Structure 1
Amino acid sequence: MAEPAVRTTGRTGRLVILVAVVAALVAAGVGVGLWRGWFADPSVSDAPRARAGTVETVVGDLAAPWGLAFLPDGSALVTERDTRRILRVSGTTAREVARIDEAAPAGEGGLLGIAVSPDYAQDRWVYVYYTAAEDNRIARLRLGERPEPLLTGIPRGSRTHNGGRLAFGPDGMLYAGTGDAGQRDASQDRDSLAGKILRMTRDGRPAPGNPFGSLVYSYGHRNVQGLGWDAAGTMYASEFGQNHYDELNRISAGGNYGWPEVEGDSDDSRYVAPIATWGTDEASPSGIAVVGDRVWLACLRGQRLYRIGAGGQDPEALLTDEYGRLRHVAAAPDGSLWVLTSNRDGRGSPNDGDDRILRLVP
């Protein structure tokens, strides 16, 4: 938009500018739900700080860890985005157990999410989401063997918006969060895999009961990197906003979450409204964990760990500015929470010992 030829000042001038901006947005076809959010406050702002309980470092000196999944013996598998390594963390030791050579790290892409088969003791399958040279992919492998691609063709962003979280739901199906890959309109296109939450069988096929008969479970997402379920089976997802609002959403089959027509809340009944919103400088939520009736969100730009009620109530901020950027949080078998830092991802300021896995006992 070009600058106005005449500079206006004062209340009348500001009103003129506001009217002109709104008129230009409407003329450009921008949804009301998107521009109205510029003038509204997020539902979570200046959340009170809370004590984190006991925090200890499990392992350190990692390189941009991204995904984490626990094995039946209580050890954990951790992905490193840029090294393409899968590490096995047992006790206070991390060792490489696999490397995904096909991954092509660039920007936010690389080796991303990881999930362990619910029947791992019998089938030994581990699932990974990674950015390849031309697309994002989901593959499965047995540790020590080559990965077997199950789903290819998930659009890849040149540097950003690759999504990447993988998780098995309580229904035994595999879910994946994808990004819009910088192709905004793809999020509303149900024939595209970009800007979606996907639901699939363990061999990568559309899961029975999916709302559109395809892999797509929900759509209208910008960049989903957090997936979780409560004890009743309700699904939650975190989402990166663009300039104004990050979101926590309750996910329903076939739901349209609005992007790019809406960022944050909206009065438009076509779109599912978020449970909670944050300003992007206070959040940028990546991985989430749901424990009891609380959702935990690991935040990158916000450099804190949020704890919030499953209805968006009673938010609290933990670890604020203590460990830098936080990529993921996961509930461990022993009842603790494991948190991955992300200070060596090209956007952080690493300290000695970064990156690390923290163990938090609330």
Structure 2
Amino acid sequence: MQRRAVSAVLAAAALLLTAGCSSGDGGPPGEDGSATATPTGTAAGSSSPEGSPEETPPAKGSVKVARTVATGLSTPWGLAPLADGDLLVSSRDEATITRVDGRTGEKTELGEVPGVSPSGEGGLLGIALSPEYASDHMVYAYFTSASDNRIVRMIYDEGKPAGEQLGAPDTVFRGIPKGMIHNGGRIAFGPDRMLYAGTGESGDTGLSQDKESLGGKILRLTPDGEPAPGNPFPDSPVYSYGHRNVQGLAWDGKQRLFASEFGQDTWDELNAIKPGDNYGWPEAEGESDDGGFHNPVDQWTTDEASPSGIAYAEGSIWMAGLGGDRLWRIPLKGTEASADPQAFLEEEYGRLRTVAPAGKNKLWLVTSNTDGRGDPKEDDDRILELEVS
């Protein structure tokens, strides 16, 4: 779809706390929303190297559940794969981070994140590993406190006893509006080594169009919580606006950012994110004839999707559906859908919260049936390993 830039001047201020780890040196994003810096590793949500040929994937794909990795998880939300194949998973309501052995499914609790105030849709949400994790062992987390949503980082010390392996949290960014609903929560480091965060408007629809508010936005930050170099609005962390509740972030093989977004009563969305663009909420839900709004790549009725996490693999975006109880495949050509979306696993595993690349043609998939809105079965919640094409 055609994308239209919206010009604006921003004088945004966010209350930032910084600490002494390197802020990275990622360059500003390109005009198509991609990063111009050369990545030193694979981006979160990406499985194809920069510079690889861009091919249109087949119109029809496939999904096979290779195995159940782990069961018995309580309100799982965020997922961060480790280099050795193990997984870190956050519990929204228990405010804990647990390490799951990627082979045996054995669970080891790292510890509880202090300061989390779970209520409604808030709690301990997304987690991500530092771009320098091999040397700094830093885990980032997005959570709801008593006053706001914020991002912290903690050292993960494997040498300490289980339950005591998380260091004291260092708050790198705060002041994101909180509510009983629409707290956003997904965080991920991009190919440019900058930290991206999807936020919600906390039920106050006016925040989404207010470029001085952090609600209803995608934010782009340095690892220290500063507005990232090259952001579209001067001295602001805001990367895009006019969102309702962003809970999915992923980059394709050309380093283009995509995001999933909850609609209200009519249309959920998958969006291709261009820096500085306005995605319409609350004036537009789904496609719009207003040339000032960036239209979605695709849209779904809310009972088919209610999307949370997304990942990129095999030329497609894979989108986990909560209310829809299914996994969507959206094949891409550039930043447009190249064929109709396909639904998989419909009503087989209940609510689906998070999907993440697992290497090659594989994905991790996390269910969300113990979050108060699902119908949990005996083994819920669980992590699945999928083979996709």
2:130 matches 1:108 = no
Letter in 2 for 1:139: V
Alpha-carbon distance in structure 2 between the residues aligned to 1:318 and 1:244: 22
- SS of the residue 2:208 aligns to: helix
Q: Write the distance in 2 (CA, Å) between the matches of 1:315 and 1:334.
A: 21
1:311-322 correspondence runs (5 A): 311-312=336-337, 313-322=339-348
Q: Do the aligned partners of 2:114 and 2:169 also contact (CA within 8 Å) in 1?
A: no
Deviations 1:161-184 (A, max 9, x none): 000000011111000000001110
Partner residue, 1:125? 138
* Whole-angstrom CA distance in 2 between matches of 1:328 and 1:114: 11
Partner of 1:24: none
Amino acid at match of 1:190: K
- Aligned-partner residue type, residue 213 of structure 2: S
Deviation string 1:223-267 (CA, Å, 9 cap, x unpaired) is 000000001011100000000000000000001000011000001
For the 8 Å contact 1:72–1:120, the answer to whether it is kept is no
Displacement, 1:50? 6.7
**CA shift for structure 1 position 277:** 0.4
State the superposition RMSD in angstroms: 1.3
Distance in 2 (CA, whole Å) between partners of 1:127 and 1:104 is 17
Q: CA deviation at 1:53?
A: 1.6
- Could you tell me which of 46, 50, 62 is aligned with 2:73? 62
Q: What CA distance in whole angstroms lies between the structure 2 residues aligned with 1:334 and 1:350?
A: 31
Which deviates more from structure 2 when the two are superposed, residues 82-91 or residues 195-204?
82-91
Q: 2:192 aligns with which of 164, 171, 177?
A: 171
* 2:322 aligned with 1:309: no
**1:196 and 2:217 are equivalent in the alignment:** yes
Going by fraction, where is helix more abundant, 1 or 2? 1
- 1:139 maps to 152
Q: Rg larger in 1 or in 2?
A: 1
Q: Which position in structure 1 is the counterpart of 2:232? A: 211
**Which residue matches 1:94?**
107
Structure 1, unmatched stretches of 5+, are 1-47
Q: How far 1:335 moved relative to its partner?
A: 4.2
- Aligned: 1:330 with 2:330: no
**Equivalent in 294, 302, 306 of residue 272 of structure 1:** 294
- How many residue pairs match? The answer is 314
Separation in 2 of the partners of 1:119 and 1:156? 29
* 8 Å contact from structure 1 (residues 50, 317) kept in 2: no
Q: Which runs of 5+ in 2 are unaligned?
A: 1-58, 157-165
Which amino acid in structure 2 is aligned with residue 174 of structure 1? Answer: L
Report if aligned partners of 1:141, 1:147 keep a CA contact under 8 Å in 2.
yes
- For 1:98, give the aligned amino acid: G
**Greater RCO between the two (CA within 8 Å, min separation 6)?**
2
TM-score (ref. length: structure 2)? 0.79
Partners of 1:335 and 1:87 lie apart in 2 by 25
Cross-structure match for 1:242: 264
Question: What are the Cα deviations for residues 259-280 of structure 1, in whole angstroms up to 9, with x where unaligned?
Answer: 0110000011100000100000
What is the SS of the residue equivalent to 2:135?
A: helix
Q: Deviations over 1:138-165 (max 9, x none)?
A: 00010221111111110001x1000000
- 1:221 maps onto 2:234 in alignment: no
- The correspondence for 2:371, drawn from 345, 350, 355, is 345
Aligned to 2:51: none
C-alpha deviation, 1:49, in angstroms:
9.6
Change (3 A) 1:224 1:71: same
4+ residue stretches of structure 1 with deviation over 3 A? 48-51
Normalised TM-score (structure 1): 0.85
1:333, distance to aligned residue in structure 2 (A): 3.5
Q: How far apart are the structure 1 equivalents of 2:60 and 2:190?
A: 31
Cα separation, 2, equivalents of 1:74 and 1:59:
13
Q: State the shift of 1:51 in Å.
A: 4.9
1:293, 1:361 → 2: CA distance?
14
Q: Is the 8 A contact 2:72 2:382 kept in 1?
A: yes
TM superposition shift of 1:334 = 5.7
**Residue 35 of structure 1: aligned partner:** none
2-side partners of 1:252 and 1:286: how far apart? Answer: 20
Q: Does the CA contact (< 8 Å) of 1:49 and 1:318 recur in 2?
A: no
